[in-house]
Structure 1
Amino acid sequence: MQIIEGAGVWKPTAGSANDWVEHLRVPDLSVGTYRIPAGGLDDQSPHTEDEIYVVTAGRARIVTPGGAAEVGPGSVIFVPAGEEHRFDDVTEDLALLVIFGPAYGSRTPGP
């Protein structure tokens, strides 16, 4: 067992830019916190791993090719590997607990 302290918590950083912190990594999954300040832009690219986002603080909209949805504390979002997605219209500082399966960056992109 391992208690993961600070996962999913909003902690402003110098410059208030987007921030990614990985808290745990094992071969089959990784856990981290992604933060976007109010008014910030999400510039991430699709990942090669499946993702689950849990919104722990803030409000925004998630946009994918399949549509858009408003999200806030308690929202749980599944994004399959390779799907374009971004958080947009971040109206309150956004903190997300992110779970990747397998671990973030462990799959090589296809041709």
Structure 2
Amino acid sequence: MANPQFNLNGRIWLEVNGEKVLGHGRVELLERIHASGSIRQAALQMKMSYKQAWDLIHHINSHFEEPIVISQRGGKGGGKATVTDEGLKLIQEFHKMQGRLAEFLKQNSGIIDFH
């Protein structure tokens, strides 16, 4: 049997006191809220309930000094949600970290030898 080539793989997430606060899926939710202006629309696009999306946003907001998403209750035209400037910076920083991780994984894959 030929020697297998091992590759590294991984994902980034941010934790506070061992509790996951932000990862790939939550960043996607923030990006979809930013694009649509709606938690409901973002939830539908991600095939999750509004309650689940709202709970995730509440959880994210509760772990930062400034809100990441601000929402306004619906009325005749429906509600509105805005990703704050702080939230947009958070998204950008997350993508930078993800890029650095991808580069690390690329540079270090294939160098593992278990012989």
Q: TM-score, normalised by structure 1?
A: 0.25
Higher alpha-carbon Rg: 2
